[in-house]
């Protein structure tokens, strides 16, 4: 049985908000990068906040493009997971949160878009 649109939306929003809280705590507190200044680290976290208004309003278009932002942070967490000698728990948690956000948002955007009759128009090939 497929998940309902509301379940997908709640899952996407909760994993997004958990990422917004966890990633700064991880990057600035639990495992700060000694090569970056705190100001630069904060600047790197700003893209996480870009989809916030649309995610809170449940806009399918925002859920769809927020996946690109999730992918940026997912690459970073997977890199940290790969190169970490110890403390692999923090990047693992971030990876799971980001994957959940990415997958749930993608499925929510698809499901809600279908409910609203939105979608990509098929190109007329003239045949």
pLDDT tens-digit series, residues 86-120: 778 888 999 999 999 999 999 898 888 788 777 66
Integer Cα distance of 50 and 2 in angstroms: 29
Range of the domain at 69: 10-114
Cβ atoms of 5 and 115 closer than 8 Å:
yes
Domain annotation covers residue 36: yes
At 98 the pLDDT is 95
Count of structural domains, the chain: 1
Q: Please give the model's pTM, rounded to 2 decimal places.
A: 0.82
At 1 the pLDDT is 58
For residue range 29-84, list pLDDT tens digits in order.
777 666 667 777 778 888 899 999 999 998 888 989 999 999 999 998 898 888 87
Domain annotation covers residue 24: yes
Domain annotation covers residue 72: yes
Integer Cα distance of 63 and 75 in angstroms: 19
Domain annotation covers residue 91: yes
At 126 the pLDDT is 65
Residues in the chain: 127
Domain annotation covers residue 46: yes
């Amino acid at each position: 049985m497929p998940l309902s649109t509301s379940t997908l939306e709640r899952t996407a929003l909760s994993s997004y908000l958990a990422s917004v809280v966890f990633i700064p705590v991880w990057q600035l507190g639990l495992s700060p990068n000694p090569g970056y200044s705190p100001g630069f680290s904060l600047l790197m976290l700003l893209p996480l906040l870009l989809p916030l208004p649309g995610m809170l309003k449940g806009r399918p278009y925002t859920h769809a493009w927020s996946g690109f932002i999730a992918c940026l942070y997912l690459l970073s967490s997977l890199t940290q997971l790969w190169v970490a000698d110890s403390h692999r728990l923090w990047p693992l948690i971030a990876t799971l949160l980001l994957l959940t956000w990415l997958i749930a948002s993608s499925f929510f955007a698809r499901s809600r878009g279908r409910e609203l009759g939105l979608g990509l128009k098929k190109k007329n090939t003239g045949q």
